Amino acid sequence: MQHVDYVVSPDKKFKIAFSHFQEIRMATYEGLFTLLDDNESIIEKFEPLTAINSRLCSWTDTSTYFAVATGHSLSGFLIERVPQLDFSFIKVANPYLDISFHSDKFVIGYSDEQVALTNSTQTIGGGVLEIPTKTMIKPNDLTFDLSGLTFYPRRNLNDLINLVKPNKEYNLQLIDGGYNEFKGVFPQNTKSVYNTRQLEIYQLEAFAEYGDKKSKEWLEMIKQKTGNNYNRWTKVSDYIGFLKR
């Protein structure tokens, strides 16, 4: 990915350049981020950290702090204070969340769009999901007072992992609101088709969790056969053959 994205500070004195992104695992990219001045001279490269994307970057209105989502070696949010370049770090298991600054507070949470997408029953092909679906509820945001964060001098950035090792790791997850009423057809055999896919284990798991006794029985057979170590995207029949309800 050869293009460079910029996130400019409100006072136009700084910009963060996001570049050299590479696919570190399937459909997951990370790249470099660099702090520049208004003449595009490099102030800081932040090595060895890598950023998730330019969208997960935010400045305070005063251009005093900015935050960047990082992943791979250490997941969370790096908060930098300029021009001092001292930093703080908040460990978050899932950093693919919305971030923003509100006065002297840093806020992490799910956007309404993320929640709506999770709860959507539409498939890529345009049809409606034919397996049981849940309603997931947006949790309260994580809010941090900037004055309450510990900031470290720039020279300690290379030792970031050890520096924050004892710190709490946050794991903000959507709240399980339970299954919606299912009005479709439960699997009649282990080769039943849902949304053009022959019954796969992740689909069987949904039927089993919804409460279908036969799906629970087939899932338990797979767990016993594999020692509970199976690929959720594999066809059910690949593990237990053709069985009828």
Report the percent of the chain where pLDDT is more than 90.
86
Residue 25 has pLDDT above 80, yes or no: no
Provide long-range contacts, Cβ within 8 A and 24+ apart, for 123-127.
123/195, 125/195, 125/196, 127/195
Is the same domain home to 95 and 159? yes
- The percent of residues above 70 in pLDDT, for the chain, comes to 99
Report d(CA 225, CA 220) in Å as an integer. Answer: 9
Instruction: Answer yes or no: do 24 and 107 share one domain.
Output: yes
User: Dihedral angle at the C-alpha atoms of 219, 223, 225, 226, nearest 10 degrees?
Assistant: 130
CA distance 139 to 124: 26
Domain region containing 227: 185-240
Query: Would you say residue 69 lies in a domain?
Result: yes
Q: Is residue 125 part of a domain?
A: no
Specify the pLDDT at position 1: 56
Q: How confident is the model at residue 28 (pLDDT cuts 50, 70, 90)?
A: confident
How confident is the model over 37-41, as a mean pLDDT? 93
- pLDDT of 125 strictly over 90: no
Task: Clarify whether residues 172 and 192 are in a common domain.
Answer: no
Q: Confirm whether 14 is domain-assigned.
A: yes
Q: Tens digits of per-residue pLDDT, 170-188?
A: 999 999 999 999 999 999 9
User: Of 176, 196, 220, which residue is a domain's last?
Assistant: 176
Q: Does 29 have pLDDT greater than 90? A: no
Residue 89 and residue 197 in one domain? no
pTM, to two decimals: 0.84
The closest of 46, 45, 141 to 101, measured between CA atoms, is 141
pLDDT in tens, 188-227: 999 999 999 999 999 999 999 999 999 999 999 999 999 9
Mean of the per-residue pLDDT values of the chain: 94
Tell me, yes or no, whether 128 lies in a domain. no
d(CA 236, CA 239): 6
Find all residues with CB under 8 Å of 108, minimum gap 6, and list them: 77, 90, 92, 97, 98, 99, 141, 142, 143, 144, 170, 172
Mean pLDDT of 154-179: 94
Per-residue confidence (pLDDT) for residue 65, from 0 to 100: 97
The verdict on residue 124 lying in a domain is no
15 or 1: which leads in pLDDT = 15
145 and 198 assigned to the same domain: no
Instruction: State the burial class of residue 131 (Cβ atoms within 10 Å of its Cβ: 0-12, 13-18, 19+).
Output: buried
- Considering the domain architecture, whether residues 190 and 105 belong to the same structural domain is answered as no
Query: Looking at residue 71, what is its pLDDT?
Result: 85
User: How many structural domains is the chain composed of?
Assistant: 2
Amino acid sitting at position 192: S
Last-in-domain residue among 176, 202, 220: 176
Structural domain includes residue 36: yes
* Mean pLDDT of all residues in 19-33: 83
Tell me the C-alpha to C-alpha distance, in Å, between residue 29 and each of 22, 59, 97, 160, 161. 5, 22, 15, 21, 21
Name the band, by pLDDT with cuts 50, 70 and 90, for residue 74.
Answer: confident
Mean pLDDT of 219-242: 97
Q: What is the pLDDT of residues 129-155, one digit of tens each?
A: 999 999 999 999 999 999 999 999 999
Identify whether residues 66 and 159 lie together within a single domain: yes
CATH number at residue 21: 2.40.128
